[in-house]
Amino acid sequence: MLEHYFGAHGWAFERTGDDEIVANVQGSWASYELRAVWRVEDRVLQFLALPDIRVPSDKRIAIYETIGLINEQLWLGHFEMWSSDGLVLFRHAAMLECEDDEGEGQLTLDHAQAVVEAAIDCCERYYPVFQFVLWGGKSPSDALAASLVETVGEA
């Protein structure tokens, strides 16, 4: 289903194994790697969006605080930072029904769309927050407030 969804949007993708697919999407702020991994033993589809943000050691405490503030606002999925390399990512897991003993999960088009769009929307919405903290010198709470200002009209 994800192959069809990615293909319909004209996004470059590849299968990296029987249970994994990777696509690349250009967003407003960055190019995002989308990665879906099917864990047959758990019947879980894990979906990752990687916005290409690497956090230097001296900024990790501030980014952990930033992630905490952002995650309080999310209903679907969450951001995290891998401690090994400071990589920021968005992650969502979905349990899927299996109709056979082979463990093939049934992902509907609506479900695929919801998972993919939630990941991209969150990356697009919160990418500036991470940049404000990393490169703008703002505190996590100031960065969140500054990036979520709604604009009206055009300049």
CA distance linking residue 85 with residue 65, whole number of Å: 17
Amino acid identity of residue 29, one-letter, is W
Give all domains of the chain, ordered by start, each with its CATH number.
Answer: 2-147 (3.30.1460.10)
Query: For residue 26, how far is the Cα from the chain centroid?
Result: 13
* pTM (2 d.p.): 0.84
Digit-by-digit pLDDT tens for the chain (155 residues) are 788 888 888 888 899 888 899 999 999 999 999 999 988 888 888 999 999 999 999 999 999 999 999 999 998 899 999 999 999 999 998 887 766 555 455 777 788 888 889 999 999 999 999 999 999 999 999 999 988 765 545 55
Report CA torsion sign: 73, 79, 80, 81. negative
CA distance linking residue 121 with residue 143, whole number of Å: 18
Residue 4 contacts residue 113 (beta carbons within 8 Å) = no
What does the pLDDT read at residue 35? 94
What is the longest distance spanned by two Cα atoms in the chain?
A: 58
* Cβ within 8 Å of residue 106, ≥6 positions away: 96, 97, 98, 99
What does the pLDDT read at residue 98? 61
Residue 137 contacts residue 131 (beta carbons within 8 Å) = no
